[in-house]
Amino acid sequence: MSLEQGDIAKLARLARIRISEESSEELRQRISDILGMIDTMQAVNTDAVDPMANPHDATQRLRADVVSEVDQRDDFQRIAPATEDGLYLVPKVID
Amino acid sequence: MPSHTVADLLRGLAAGDFSSEEITQQYLDAIADRDGQINSFITVTREHALEQARAADNARQRGNAGALCGLPIAHKDIFCTEGVRTSCASKMLDNFIAPYSATVVNNMASAGAVMLGKTNLDEFAMGSSNETSYYGTVRNPWNTDRVPGGSSGGSAAAIAAGLAPAATGTDTGGSIRQPAALCGLTGLKPTYGRVSRYGMIAFASSLDQAGPMARSAEDCALLLQSMAGFDERDSTSMDVRVDDYAGALDQDLRGLKIGLPKEYFSAGLDPAIGDAVHAALEEYRKMGAETVEISLPHTELAVPCYYVIAPAEASTNLSRFDGVRYGYRCENPADLDDLYTRSREEGFGEEVKRRILVGTYALSAGFYDAYYRKAQQVRRLIKQDFTDAFKQVDIIAGPTTPNPAFGIGEKVSDPVTMYLEDIYTIAVNLAGLPALSMPVGFAGELPAGMQLIGRDFDEGRLLAAAHQYQQRSDWHLRTAPECA
């Protein structure tokens, strides 16, 4: 699978990572190489095989629907880049 | 001190031959003197360590010694440690002080272990050479022009250099076993769900597993005993009884059936590593074990399958690094989109970005079935290979890596070649099985490792099999030339 420059731009947008023009071509080449290696997997027939998401085929354990965590907002916000009055600050979204 | 095992140190502490404060001080001094050449630590927690050591000595005097009381260890810098920087070797988390500790860290501290510091790794554990760390390459103590392996390369190099007697690691595709092999150590990846993932920074959640790294299988047994167990804070933790690992080390191996996958002894294996593994297998036969050739027919699909599943899960897990709640934020973002995209551009290194983009591709509309679903189907075929093999044999053995430690810079520009170094370790993570690596000789001056793979939750048998071999060999006690 060989990617085009437009594919890299689309992936970068989906992944919310800015990709500079200088690094874009090398990235396209490297990711194409990786996808080429991955494509060897397509040769095997898996028509009758169920996908495996967990190696023990375990499903998510559920707990009782009761509050089990204490409020640690201050601890968690102490390590945030910018907060005010218990809120996380980001650049203005709506004028 | 450098070649002391965990078992030696615990015996010495119990006998009062030395205090925890004394040995902790010695390891801290060794780190200060010699880690400049190795770069195995990102953060050394000197004061914290001495405080913990004094507390351990007091506890012992009061007759209150836990299983690891006073034992200095290092934690891979992927485990959250309350009040101490937890960087995951990324610029993204260079300023991150964890607000809580991982269950593994708490469990080991409760048993009395003393934390010397946090060890270096490939950024977000993505790598097999420890060259992708924001804090610089780690060097292999056996030859400082070589890589220590990865991603738990700092933990491995620290032990091999005599800067810590043991350390924690994590293993998503070989990240405990491969550096253990390349640095001449014993390292165990437990069964998926055996050790809690709570507070361990997530890379690929269906593959990640924490485990011990040390000199001997006995040491790994002692460490695993404190690490393992059910944790309701990890939704994939398995509620399975924890065996008495140390108590089960003295097993008679007569009648043990060892499977040798023919795919693990094929072209591409370094002949000296092959010879070392065959010589170790001969020892097992002398101990009464039986070796039989088996086949794991889907071995070649493990690397491609892994490089869909691991990046897909990583792209999801690493979406949390957004420059808003914690971690790196770019300067003067123009708007919210600029804040996200530029924080992630500047905060992540090249390999991490590559994997996020590959994972994004595999999960994107129109490609999901061809990549992610396909890889999950192949994953079941790989697991089935092992299930079939374990109907015939008790454990599976082979080389841990195809080559000894490679040169720094040799493979870093060619990701696919680097990925293929993990060909013997990756399938085990896809299948969720326990496996360990132990030293069985040398390829030239560089250590060679043998891998033992077991059935689900059969860590005790693996540790016992390795321990019996280590009773008859001394590879695990050899020390790197400069570090004796």
Q: Would you kindly state where each structural domain of chain A is located, as residue ranges?
A: 5-43
The H or E element that residue B10 is part of is helix B6-15
In order, the DSSP letters of B248-274 are G-----TT-EEEEEGGGGSTTS-HHHH
Give the integer Cα–Cα distance in Å for B71 and B116.
10
Binary contact (A52, B342; C-beta < 8 A):
no
Residue B237 falls in the annotated catalytic set: no
> With contact defined as beta carbons under 8 Å apart, do B86 and B52 qualify?
no
B310 vs A contacts (CB less than 8 Å): none
The pLDDT value recorded for residue B106 is 98
Give the integer Cα–Cα distance in Å for B156 and B164.
9
The pLDDT value recorded for residue B3 is 65
Dihedral sign, Cα of residue B220, residue B224, residue B226, residue B227:
positive
Which of B224, B24, B27, B12 lies closest to B107, judged by CA? Answer: B224
Whether a cis peptide bond, with omega within 30° of 0, leads into B151 is yes
Give the integer Cα–Cα distance in Å for B212 and B224.
6
Low-confidence ranges of chain B (pLDDT < 70): 1-3, 482-484
Q: What percent of chain B has pLDDT over 70?
A: 99
Binary contact (A49, B335; C-beta < 8 A):
no
The pLDDT value recorded for residue B143 is 97
Give the integer Cα–Cα distance in Å for B75 and B54.
19
Residue B76 falls in the annotated catalytic set: yes
Q: CB contact, 8 Å: A9 with chain B?
A: no
Which of B150, B147, B20, B125 lies closest to B72, judged by CA? Answer: B20
CATH class for the region spanning B6-253+459-483: alpha beta
The H or E element that residue B179 is part of is helix B177-183
Which position among B20, B40, B76, B129 bears the catalytic label? B76
From first to last of the 95 residues of chain A, give the pLDDT tens digit. Answer: 689 999 999 999 999 999 999 999 999 999 999 999 999 999 999 999 999 999 999 998 888 999 988 999 999 999 999 999 999 999 988 87
In order, the DSSP letters of B73-90 are EEEETTB-BTTBB--TT-
Listed by start position, the domains of chain B span 6-253+459-483
> With contact defined as beta carbons under 8 Å apart, do B175 and B125 qualify?
yes
Nearest residue of A to residue B347 by CA position? A17
Q: Measured between CA atoms, how close is B34 to chain A, in angstroms? A: 33
The pLDDT value recorded for residue B267 is 80
Tell me the sheet residues that pair with B452: B397, B436
The pLDDT value recorded for residue B243 is 96
Window A:20-59, CB contacts with B under 8 Å? 20, 23, 27, 30-31, 33-42, 44, 46, 49-56, 58
* Coil, strand or helix at B200: strand
Give the integer Cα–Cα distance in Å for B264 and B34.
37
- Can you tell me the ipTM of this complex? 0.96
The pLDDT value recorded for residue B421 is 86
What's the Cα-to-Cα distance from B470 to each of B83, B251, B460, B477, rounded to whole Å? 39, 13, 15, 9
B173 vs A contacts (CB less than 8 Å): none
- Which residue bears the tokens 């990701």? B415
Residue B315 falls in the annotated catalytic set: no
Is this model's pTM higher than 0.90 or not? yes
